[in-house]
Structure 1
C-alpha cells in the first residue's frame, strides 16, 4: 500500500484515497478479484489504474481494461498520458500499422494499461496477443468497466459482454475487477454469475450523491417547463437533456438554440462524424447543452455537467440513476430534473407488453417501471426512495423537491372508482374500448362530438367527476395504469397508425370495491412565463466551484482560458488537463513559486513538470 499511496500522490496528485478506494486498491493490487459498485464521480477509474501501475512495477505485467466506448478510451488514455502513465487503446480508429506498433509495445512491456472494447476480446488475433503475454507472465490485471452491460436485467445490456468469461477460463489466476455505477440486487447477482466472479469480494459504496438535487414535475407544457428550468437555474452551464425519440431530440435542440441556449443534438441516427463532432464540442467547450437519446452518455467523464433533464420517463430506476449521475461528477451542486406524464406511462407499458421477450422478463421490467413511477409519484423524500431501491437505508435529505416544498396530498380513491366505473359502462354500452382523452371528457361531463356520437353522455357516470380537474384525473389514471388496475389495448387503424385503449383488469376489482386507497400529490408544475433572453445575450458570468474574491476570480478566468488553449493543442477535453476545482485552488492560493503549487489536489509530478511555469506565468499576469 505504500507504493499505491505514492502513486496516488505523485502520479495523480491526490493527497488521500476517498471512501472505499483504499480497501479496493489494496485488495486488487494484491491479486484479489473484486466487484465494485460506486456512484458516478466516486473515483472508480483509480480503483484499477493505481493497482495496474503498482502491479506492473512489481513485475506482474500489463492491465487490460474492457471499455465499451471509443470516445471514452481516447479520453482516458489521454488523461493517463497527461499524468505520465504509459497507456494505449486498440480499436477501429487505428490504422493497421498503428495497431501493430501498439502490439509490439505490449510485447516489450512498454505499456501499463491497454483499453479495448468487449467485441475485440473474442477476436482470434487479439486472444493470440493475450496468450503470448500470459505465457510470458506479463498479464497483470483485467478491469471490466460498465459491468452492468453483461446483465439482461441491467439498463444497457450488451451481448458481447457475455463473451468476457473467456478471460477467466483462458487466463486462470489473473485477477479481475468489474466496475459499475448502477446495479440493483438482481443485476448484481447476474453480473457475478455471468462473469464467474462468485468468489470475488464485493465493494458496495453508498449510492448517495448528496450534491444532486432531484426534482420531478408533472408535464403540462414540457418545452416551457424545461426552458424555464434552464434559463432560471442553469444559464450558461453545461447540461444534458434526454428525450426518447430522435425527432424529439432534434426538435428540442433547435428550440433551445432559438431560445439563445448553446445546444447540440445527439442520437444514433446522425452521421457518425456529426455525432463525434457534437460530443467533442460538449466535452471541450463550456456551457454546451447536449440534447440526446440514451445513446449518449455512458462513460462521459465531463465533471462540470450542472444538470441532467429528462423530458421522457426512462425505463427503470437503474437507467435514471445512471443518467442523472452524469451531473455533478466534480462533487459540486447539480440538479436532476424530470418531467413525466400519463403518456410516458402508457408508452413504457406498451413497449414492455409488446416486447418479444418471455413473460418472466416482462414481469421483471414491469416491476422496475413500477418502482420508477413510485419514485415519480412519491410525496416523501426522493433520495430515500431512490436509495431504498438499491437496498440502502437513509434519512430525508432536505435537498430534493419534496423535502424543500412538501407537496399537498389528496385522496384520489373516489376519482379512481369513477374512472373504472366509466370504463366498465363504456364497454357494456359500446362493446369497444376508448382512450384516455375520451374517458376524461365523459367523467368531467364534456359533451364533445365524439361523446354525443356514441351516446356516452347518457351514461350514469357522465359528469360525475366534474369537480376534478383533468390534471387530477390524469394523475389518477396514470397510477391505475402503473399499478395494473387499468390495462392497455392497442387498436390498429386503417391508415397504419394505432392508438391505446383502456380496459379493466383483475386489479380493477379491489379499487372498485374501495379496498385499495389511491393517494396522490397535488400538481404544482404548470408552465410559467418565460424569462427574458436579455441575460443570455449579455453572456454567462464566470462561476467558480469555490468562493473566490474578485482578484482570484480574474485569475480563475485567465487559467480557464489558458487551459482551453492547451486542451485544444492536445485534442483533449479541458478537464483532462486540470479540473475546475484544481484551477480554483490555484487561483485562490495565487502561487508565486513551484513550492506554492505543491500539495494542490490534482497536480501530480508529471503535470507539475509540464505546466507549472505556464501556470505561474498566467497567475502573475493578473
Structure 2
C-alpha cells in the first residue's frame, strides 16, 4: 500500500485516501472482485485508477457516455497517465493508431462503452493486451431494479464466463438493496469485497418548496445566484425550452438541453457549461451521467423526478468539489398525480411495479415531515439516527407530537396483516373500511380494523411514511411494495421508547444561508479563476481539468510561494506542478506585491 500512497500523492496530488479507498485499492490489487457504492463526488474513480497504475497490463473501464470518457481521459492525461477512450468520435485513423498503442502496451487505462466492448471479436485482444482489471462504472445500469436499466449492460456478465480469473470492480452511486443483489448476480462476481460508503453529501442542502408560482420562484432564486453555475431539471422538452427562453430574457446566461436537439447543439451547450461560458442549463434527464463539473452550486427540480435514484444522482451534480451546494425541488401534488397516472399506464407489469414503488418513495421525500436527508439516506439503507441540520425541515421544523400510540396502531396493523399488504390497504384497514376486498379477506375481523378511524387518510399516510423514513418499516420492492416490520420496530410496539412524529405543514424554503467557507482572499480567487480559464482555453479543456474551485480556494488561503508549498495544495501532483505551477505561483506573488492590480 506504500506504492499506492505514492501514486495517490505524486500522480493525483492527494495526501491521503478518503474513507474506504485504501481498503478497496488493497482488495483490487489482491485480485479480488469488488462492488463499490460511493456517493457522487466520493472518489470512486481513484478506486480503480490507482490500482491500474500499479498493476502490470491494461485496465478496461466500461463507461456509458462519451462525454464522461473524454473528461476522465483528459484529467488523467493532465496527471501524466497514458489513458485513452475508444468510441464513435474517433476517426478510422485514430482508432488504428490507438490499437497500435494497445498492442505495444503503451496504454494503462482504456475507456469503452459496453456496446463496443461486447461487439464482435473485441475481447479476443484481452490476452495480447494483458488486460488485468475490468472496471464497470455506473453499474446500476445492469440491474432490472435500477432506475437507469440499460439492456446493453446485461451482456457484461459474459466476461466472467470467459475470463474467470479477471478481477472486476463494479462501481455505482445509486443502488438500493435489490439493485445491489442484481449487480452481483448479473456480473457473476466471485466472493466479492463489498464496500458501501455513506450516501451522505453533507455539503448539499435539500430544500422542497410548495409549487405556487413556479416561474417567479425559479426566476427569483436564480437571480440571487447570478454569478454561480446551476442546473434546472424539467419533466418535458417544451418546458425546458420555455424556461430557458424566459431566463435568457431576464438577462441570465441560460441554454436548453434535451434529447430532441441536434447533437451539435447538445455538444455546444455541454461544452460551454463545462468551460464556465454558460451559467445555467435547463434540461430534461437527457442531461445526465457524465456531468463531471465540480462547481455546480445549485440543482433545481422544476418538476418531481420519477424516482429517488434519479433525484439523488441529479442533485449529486452539485457541489462535487465539496463546497456548499443547494438542491431545490418545487413540489405540487398535482404533478405527482399526473406522473403516477403515466406510470400506471405502463404495459409491462413488472416494470410498472418497480416504477410505482420508486415513484412512491420520491413522493414520500417531497411530502416528508422529518429530516429530508434521513429520508433520502434511509431509502438506500443508510440509516441515520440524527437529523442533518442542513435541510429545510431541519432549518424550519414542523410541529411535533407524541406519536407513539399512532405508531403502535400502524405497526400492529402491518403485523396483523402478515406484512403482506401495501400502504393504501393498511390505511383502509386502520380506518375501518368495509370495501369488498377487506371483507372477502376477513380483515374486518382483525383487532386493528378501525382503530384509526378518528384520523384522515392523509394523517395515516404521513404516519406510515414517517415510520418508513425512521427505519421502523420497510417497503419490499420485490413483493409489490408490501410493508414489513424492521427489527427496530419491536421497541416501539413494546412502548419501550418515546417517539415524536410531525404534524402536516406547508413546506417553505429556508432563508438561512450556508455556513461560509473558511476565509480566503476572494479577489485573488477571482484572479486565479481567470488564469485557469485562460490556460484551459489554450489547451481546449474544461477549467476544472486544470484545477477545481476547491484547489483555487486553498491557494487563496495558503498563498504558496514555492514549488514545495504548491505541491501541498490538494489536487496538485507532480505533472500539474510541472505544467501549471509556475504560472499560478507567479500570479500569487504578483498579487501579493500589488493587490490593486487584480
TM-score, normalization: structure 1? 0.78
Match of 1:150 among 136, 142, 145: 142
In structure 1, what is the Cα distance between the partners aligned to 2:362 and 2:197?
22
In 1, are the aligned partners of 2:199 and 2:377 still within 8 Å (CA)?
yes
Match of 1:112 among 108, 111, 134: 108
Match of 1:603 among 572, 581, 586: 572
**Residue 299 of structure 1, CA deviation:** 2.1
In 2, are the aligned partners of 1:236 and 1:287 still within 8 Å (CA)?
no
Match of residue 523 from structure 1:
506
Secondary structure in structure 2 of the residue aligned to 1:306: strand
In structure 2, what is the Cα distance between the partners aligned to 1:372 and 1:306?
23
Match of 1:617 among 564, 586, 598: 586
Match of residue 409 from structure 2:
none
Q: Highest CA radius of gyration, 1 or 2?
A: 1
Match of residue 164 from structure 1:
156
Match of 2:247 among 233, 241, 256: 256
In structure 1, what is the Cα distance between the partners aligned to 2:272 and 2:565?
33
In structure 1, what is the Cα distance between the partners aligned to 2:545 and 2:436?
55
Match of residue 332 from structure 1:
323
The change in CA–CA distance for 1:176 and 1:231 in structure 2 (over 3 A counts) is same
The answer to whether the aligner puts 1:581 opposite 2:554 as a matched pair is no
In structure 2, what is the Cα distance between the partners aligned to 1:185 and 1:262?
41
In 2, are the aligned partners of 1:240 and 1:291 still within 8 Å (CA)?
yes
In 2, are the aligned partners of 1:146 and 1:181 still within 8 Å (CA)?
yes
1:11-35, CA deviations, whole angstroms, 9 ceiling, x for partnerless residues? 0000000111111111112211100
The answer to whether the aligner puts 1:229 opposite 2:221 as a matched pair is yes
In 2, are the aligned partners of 1:21 and 1:47 still within 8 Å (CA)?
yes
Range with greater deviation from structure 2 (9-18 or 348-357): 348-357
In structure 1, what is the Cα distance between the partners aligned to 2:222 and 2:438?
40
- Aligned counterparts, 1:416-565, within 5 A: 483=424, 514=454, 517-519=457-459, 521-525=504-508, 546-548=518-520, 552-565=521-534
Match of 1:213 among 205, 208, 214: 205
The change in CA–CA distance for 1:618 and 1:544 in structure 2 (over 3 A counts) is farther
In 2, are the aligned partners of 1:12 and 1:604 still within 8 Å (CA)?
yes
Match of residue 69 from structure 1:
65
Range with greater deviation from structure 2 (179-188 or 337-346): 337-346
Match of residue 263 from structure 2:
272
In structure 2, what is the Cα distance between the partners aligned to 1:563 and 1:147?
33
In structure 2, what is the Cα distance between the partners aligned to 1:106 and 1:557?
42
1:38-97, CA deviations, whole angstroms, 9 ceiling, x for partnerless residues? 000101110110011111xxx2x0000001110111111000000000000100000111
Secondary structure in structure 2 of the residue aligned to 1:264: strand
Match of residue 189 from structure 1:
181
In 2, are the aligned partners of 1:32 and 1:175 still within 8 Å (CA)?
yes
Match of residue 388 from structure 1:
378
In structure 1, what is the Cα distance between the partners aligned to 2:205 and 2:212?
21
In structure 1, what is the Cα distance between the partners aligned to 2:203 and 2:161?
41
The change in CA–CA distance for 1:318 and 1:557 in structure 2 (over 3 A counts) is same
Secondary structure in structure 1 of the residue aligned to 2:160: helix
The change in CA–CA distance for 1:516 and 1:190 in structure 2 (over 3 A counts) is farther
The change in CA–CA distance for 1:147 and 1:527 in structure 2 (over 3 A counts) is closer
Match of residue 369 from structure 1:
359
In structure 2, what is the Cα distance between the partners aligned to 1:20 and 1:207?
13
**Residue 357 of structure 1, CA deviation:** 1.1
Match of residue 103 from structure 1:
99
| Structure 2: segments with no counterpart, 5+ residues | 402-421, 428-434, 460-502, 592-598
In structure 2, what is the Cα distance between the partners aligned to 1:484 and 1:251?
41
In 1, are the aligned partners of 2:37 and 2:174 still within 8 Å (CA)?
yes
**Residue 319 of structure 1, CA deviation:** 1.2
In structure 2, what is the Cα distance between the partners aligned to 1:126 and 1:53?
23
Match of residue 433 from structure 1:
none
In 2, are the aligned partners of 1:345 and 1:482 still within 8 Å (CA)?
no
Structure 1 segments, 4+ long, off by >6 Å, are 504-512
Match of residue 434 from structure 1:
none
Match of residue 33 from structure 1:
33
- Aligned counterparts, 1:73-92, within 5 A: 73-92=69-88
Secondary structure in structure 2 of the residue aligned to 1:3: helix
The change in CA–CA distance for 1:332 and 1:338 in structure 2 (over 3 A counts) is same
The change in CA–CA distance for 1:30 and 1:352 in structure 2 (over 3 A counts) is same
TM-score, normalization: structure 2? 0.81
**Residue 562 of structure 1, CA deviation:** 1.1
In 2, are the aligned partners of 1:224 and 1:527 still within 8 Å (CA)?
no
The CA RMSD over aligned residues, in Å, is 2.7
In 2, are the aligned partners of 1:150 and 1:194 still within 8 Å (CA)?
yes
The change in CA–CA distance for 1:145 and 1:378 in structure 2 (over 3 A counts) is same
Secondary structure in structure 2 of the residue aligned to 1:606: helix
In structure 1, what is the Cα distance between the partners aligned to 2:438 and 2:397?
30
**Residue 482 of structure 1, CA deviation:** 9.3
In structure 2, what is the Cα distance between the partners aligned to 1:224 and 1:198?
54
The change in CA–CA distance for 1:129 and 1:166 in structure 2 (over 3 A counts) is same
In 1, are the aligned partners of 2:63 and 2:112 still within 8 Å (CA)?
yes
**Residue 546 of structure 1, CA deviation:** 4.2
Match of residue 491 from structure 2:
none
In 2, are the aligned partners of 1:25 and 1:51 still within 8 Å (CA)?
yes
In structure 1, what is the Cα distance between the partners aligned to 2:167 and 2:361?
36
Q: How many residues align?
A: 510
In structure 1, what is the Cα distance between the partners aligned to 2:193 and 2:381?
18
In 2, are the aligned partners of 1:39 and 1:182 still within 8 Å (CA)?
yes
**Residue 363 of structure 1, CA deviation:** 2.4
